[in-house]
Structure 1
Amino acid sequence: MGWTRRWIIIAFWVVVACLGLPYWIWTTSIHRSHLPLGMMNSWAEGKACQMSYPLHIRLSAPDLGEQAGSLLAEGVMRRMNELTDLQLYTFKLSYNDSLPTSTERDWDLLVLLSEEQNTNPEASLRSWAPVLDVRYDPNSDTNTLATFISQEVRTVFEYEHESLTYLLNDTPYATGKDTTSSLEGKTRLDARTTRAFKYASMYHLTFSLFTSSASPSSWDVDEALNKYITPLLQPLSKISKFTINTQVQLHASFSPSIAGPMHDATSGKWLLQKTDLSGFVNAAEWPLSPSIGAGPTINFVLYVPSVEQSPLEIAETGGTSWLVPQWGGVQILNPSDMQSATLSAGDLEQVMLTFADHLTALVGLPPSPQSLALRLSSLTRERATSLILSASSTLGALARLTLKLTSISIPDSVAKSVDETIARLDQACLDLREGRFDSALSNARIANDEAERAFFEPSMVGQVYFPDEHKVAVYVPLLGPMAVPLVMAALKELRKLRAAKLKSA
């Protein structure tokens, strides 16, 4: 009876091992087979998408007529195709001798020609519209005018092309030719990238009034925001959403980490050293939240010193405002002798204009060209490109992790996120090639979110930091005491069987 019990125990553990091993193999392989590793690697290696940006230029010349306008358009198009330093772009040019309607917008840049006697060709961009106004003499040569227009169009998109090339450099999507004009240009692009926030679909703007005394105790911030900030946020909302919060704190003291302003007897001013600017914000006492909700917070601080410590300026430059990279902006408002308890919207005009400039820099809006509409279009293409690069890189990292850690199990949610990422990336790439840049940004944003969700899946992160050696160290102490009696019993039974066979022989 004892012999039978021992063999039953041995058989039980053999069955458990035989069933458990295939189950472990199934759980770690069947889910892995759901991952399209080939497509993930293709995106990471830059083989799944060719970055190209078609730009539609519309030429309108009501005074030229159909035949002369068509000849001018052909000349401009021929010269645009000869441009070798804008290789990422594919220009499409159309001509219409009538002005476009207010609802018509199937072009990226409108070149609007108007006659002006006895003048050389001149061009100017409109501030709020993607329109290039060109004035020309009706007796000017068509070839000369075509060359002038093509050069002006090149100038409009030159900075954006440098930015896109800068983004693609050192990535699998690089074109192989660095068209950044100079070392100075690269330094400028580096500085712009460094001070701007990483792209987010939501930003939280916090406008804070800090005063070193009890006055001013209020400000007409709502009116000032509606007048100077909201008109900028409305076009920017096509790229990201914004929320706004305001606050006031009285008797706000300087940060203890700075030496404090020093009085200059010669000028009668209080001066802040440039080295004090980085520690000016008193993070310990000023209620500035680093993050609200899902998106990053951009802080705008208006500081009003006391009458006894004003005017307060920066020693080296004489300025009163500065930008803190990836954080926000600070503006000092020196009070007047007849200071009131409330800052009116008129008092805040220059402050809000400064904050508007800081905001454009912090969200990454290009400084060129002059037209805000064209700068927003450039930012849309840049953000779509950067999100495609980010999602592709995350997919590649996930693929390499999956191939390296063969024992890690892949949840179905990760496989679904990867499928969604690849589908969105395919659509974003198609949108770029067909000039649907807003749609490309939307799809690239979803692709990047899904890729990060898959890579940082909580159930997988724990397995990444729990290798096989740790599993052995955990389970051997548990299985060891159970295995030793079974092994000893099996050896004892084998000896009995051997002794019985010898005895019978």
Structure 2
Amino acid sequence: MKYASKSSVDRQDGHSHSIGAALTFIVILLGLGVPVWWNTTTVQRASLPLEELSNMAKVSGKEQSFPILLKAINDAQVMANKLQDVLIQSKELLNYNFRVVPYQFSLEEVKQFSLQNSVDAIDMYFEELSESKLLIDGLSIVEVPSHFLPSGKACVGRHNFLYISEETNFNSLSRILHSILVIHDSDQNSITHLPISNHYNVLLTLATANATQIHSTLVSSYDGNFVAFSKKFERVSDLSISSQVIYLGNGHIKANYDTDTKKISLNEEKVVSLINILEPRLGSQLSSDPTFHWVLYFPHVNQSPMYIYKGSSPVVTNSVLSPRWNGGGLQIVNEIEHSFAGLALCQLRNALGIFSLQSKDTSYVSLSYDESGVHAWELYLLTRRRTVQFLNQATITLKSLSQLLKQIGNIVVSEEIRDLIVASVNMGENSRRALKSGNLQQAYRDAQASHKCAEKAFFDPSLLALLYFPEDQKYAIYIPLFLPIGIPVLLSLRSVYKHFLRR
């Protein structure tokens, strides 16, 4: 009997020890192991203003204050009020939030008019003044004596000035403003060949079939025109201009010879073969910035003069554009002329989104371009449109990023990414406030910064690392890890449950 009771006690002690060991293992696993595993496998996601991102909207026309400085010889305040009323009532300008500010000329400034002999001279005079003092960020309407302008007409200056006289009708003036604004702000013209960027490359290539035909004067002529343009365009973006000369051997391409005119004709479709020959020799780009290509091709002496034909008609400019060159193109040159640089510069303007006035409205005249080939008011309107484009692209990028982070929970969001997103949102709000107050330069700088931060956050490598990591892959990783441990734990729980149930 003693032996039997001792054996029973031993079994009970052994059972109690096994239950205690099971409880200890369960407590360690659930109390320590699971929390450590949970914390080490949880995806790091810094807090983001997701609600604010999802509510972001594109910039509307009414958010943009369009300041106009009316500088008058007579009563500036009365003229400003009258112009303000006309602009508000104009159906064509409903999408613009104009703010007309009066500026009364002093006697000394009026006296300066008598020293000038044309609107051109006055335009240069006011440009010098605007660099040292005056004005607000916007367009200026300047009243000049009537004898400087044709009766009732206005004059569009090279700088940020539109000249009128006391004979100019304000209703006509509103139509002039509409003609100037619509070509730069329309949705169709906002889509340019070159994407908006803070930096651009311009590559001018002289392709010749003769090794002795360098034409350094032509290259320097191109460089001179483009340098003047880039110096003025730096208010908007930086242009990096470079030129090169490439040789094409014998340079013979398939072209047709017209015995009557004794000219070599090249059909516009066949120019593609010439572009294919040139393209590998243009050189690889060392920069990711958008690049504008313009090629001057001097044909071989045996194929000169050569002219590009579209159907049966010759192309006046003897050039063809290439979509692959971001709005650039190729021009066949038979004789050296300085006017060739003007065509390339004109196409660069179009590629960058600068469009010339082509209205048939006879109520105004326009001053000719200086050597830079661009008016200051054109750059002003381009800056306005690019500010909106930068803000809208930043908005689209941030909203896309917000949706992506909501849909894919495995993407790591570091504090650096959060700081970029918050900075983009804040700079965007600052830009919108500056636009509303009429401070365009500040709005443009903030819009650039907002767009840059949004793009940098969206394309950060840390976000892309787990972009295509499917949820079901977790089961393939964790089941082999937890199944061998989980089965004994479940059995132990069953034993512990029965043990305490018997007691």
Q: Please indicate the TM-score interval, normalised by the length of the shorter structure.
A: 0.7 to 0.9
The residue type paired with residue 88 of structure 2 is N
Q: Does 1:149 align with 2:173?
A: yes
Q: Which letter does structure 1 place at the counterpart of 2:351?
A: L
Contact 2:327 2:347 in 1 (8 A): no
> Is 2:250–2:300's contact at 8 Å kept on the other side of the alignment?
no
Is 1:198 matched with 2:192?
no
Give the structure 2 partner of residue 415 of structure 1: 418
Q: Distance in 1 between matches of 2:457 and 2:298?
A: 47
**Paired residue type of 1:291:** Q
> Retained in 1: the 8 A contact 2:201–2:240?
yes
CA contact (8 A) 1:196 1:362 kept: yes
Preserved contact between residue 432 and residue 443 of structure 2 (Cα < 8 Å): yes
Summarize the alignment of residues 84-103 of structure 1 with structure 2, pairs less than 5 Å apart. 84-93=91-100, 94-98=102-106, 99=109, 101-102=129-130, 103=132
User: RMSD over aligned Cα, in angstroms?
Assistant: 3.4
2:63 is aligned to 51
Distance 2:500 2:149 in 1: 123
Matches within 5 A, 1:68-467: 70-93=77-100, 94-98=102-106, 99=109, 101-102=129-130, 103=132, 104-106=134-136, 107-116=138-147, 120-126=151-157, 128-135=158-165, 145-161=169-185, 163=186, 166=187, 186=188, 189=189, 193=191, 195-220=192-217, 223-251=220-248, 260-282=254-276, 286-289=280-283, 291-316=285-310, 317-319=314-316, 320-325=318-323, 326-335=326-335, 347=336, 349-368=338-357, 372-467=375-470
For 1:265, the aligned partner's letter is T
Q: Does 1:37 align with 2:50?
A: yes
For 1:181, the equivalent position in structure 2 comes to none
Equivalent residues of 2:23, 2:496 under 8 A apart = no
Larger deviation, residues 406-415 vs 318-327: 318-327
- Contact 2:61/2:95, CA 8 A, preserved across alignment: no
Task: Tell me the distance in 1 between the aligned counterparts of 2:164 and 2:249.
Answer: 53
SS at match of 1:322: strand
Report the AA paired with residue 357 of structure 1. C
- Alignment-mate amino acid for residue 105 of structure 1: L
The answer to whether the 8 A contact 1:272-1:314 is kept is: yes
Deviation, 1:263, is 1.7
Q: Quick check: 1:254–1:281 contact (8 Å CA) kept in 2?
A: no
8 Å contact kept, 1:210–1:250: yes
CA–CA distance in structure 2, aligned partners of residues 289 and 80 of structure 1: 51
Distance 2:148 2:423 in 1: 59
Larger Rg: 2
Query: Residue 95 and residue 411 in structure 1: after superposition, are their counterparts in 2 closer, same or farther (change >3 A)?
Result: same
- Which whole-Å deviations, capped at 9, do the CAs of 1:275-311 have from their partners, x for residues lacking one? 2334432367642245332412211211110111011
Q: Displacement, 1:85?
A: 1.9
Distance in 2 (CA, whole Å) between partners of 1:412 and 1:272 is: 59
Deviation at 1:7, TM superposition (A): 6.7
Distance in 1 (CA, whole Å) between partners of 2:401 and 2:148 is: 64
1:392 alignment partner AA: T
Cα gap change, 1:435 to 1:7, in 2 (>3 Å): same
Q: 1:220 to 1:118 in 2, by over 3 A?
A: closer
Q: Tell me the distance in 1 between the aligned counterparts of 2:278 and 2:22.
A: 70
Contact 2:390–2:451 (CA under 8 A) maintained in structure 1: yes
Mean Cα deviation higher: 12-21 or 325-334: 12-21
Letter in 2 for 1:441: Y
Q: Write the distance in 1 (CA, Å) between the matches of 2:148 and 2:340.
A: 43
8 Å CA contact retained: 1:10, 1:486: no
* Residues 97-133 of structure 1: CA deviation (Å, up to 9, x unaligned): 344534233241233322229963122222x222223
Determine the C-alpha separation between the residues in 1 that align with 2:279 and 2:394: 39
Q: CA deviation at 1:261?
A: 1.9
Tell me which amino acid in the other structure corresponds to 1:134: I
Partner of 2:4: none
Q: Which runs of 4 or more aligned residues in structure 1 lie more than 4 Å from their structure 2 counterparts after TM superposition?
A: 1-12, 24-28, 46-50, 252-255, 492-498
- Write the deviation string for residues 429-484 of structure 1: whole angstroms up to 9, x where unpaired: 0111111212211111111111111112211212221021123224434x16xx32
Could you tell me which runs of 5 or more consecutive residues in structure 1 were left unpaired when the two chains were aligned: 167-185, 336-346
Unmatched tracts of structure 2, length 5 or more: 1-13, 110-125, 359-365, 368-374
| Range moving further from structure 2, 276-285 or 459-468 | 276-285
- Equivalent residue of 1:375, what SS? helix
Structure 1 residues 221-230 or 239-248, which shifts more? 221-230
Amino acid at match of 2:260: T
Rounded Cα–Cα distance in structure 2 between residues aligned with 1:47 and 1:92? 18
CA distance in 2, matches of 1:430, 1:442: 13
User: 1:52·1:88 contact (CA, 8 Å) conserved in 2?
Assistant: no
* Superposed displacement of residue 353, structure 1: 1.4
- Code of the residue aligned with 1:23 in structure 2: it is N
CA-CA distance at 1:23 after TM superposition = 1.6
Shift of 1:153: 3.3
Q: Which residue pairs with 1:343 in the alignment?
A: none
**Partner Cα distance (2:162, 2:489) in 1:** 93
Normalising by structure 2, what TM-score? 0.78
- What do residues 138-161 of structure 1 show as CA deviations (whole Å, max 9, x unaligned)? xx5xxx733343433333333234
Residue 67 of structure 2 aligns to which amino acid in structure 1? L
* 3-state SS in 2 of match to 1:35: coil
Task: Evaluate the alpha carbon distance shift between residue 364 and residue 279 of structure 1 in structure 2; reply closer, same or farther with a 3 A threshold.
Answer: farther
Residue 222 of structure 1 deviates from its aligned partner by 6.0
Q: How far apart, in 1, do the equivalents of 2:494 and 2:62 lie?
A: 69
Number of matched residues?
443
Corresponding position: 1:19 with 2:43: no
Identity %: 19
Q: Report the residue type matching 1:324 in the other structure.
A: S
Deviation for aligned residue 1:486: 5.8
Aligned-residue offset at 1:203? 0.7
Q: Matched residues in 2 for 1:91 and 1:215: separation?
A: 59
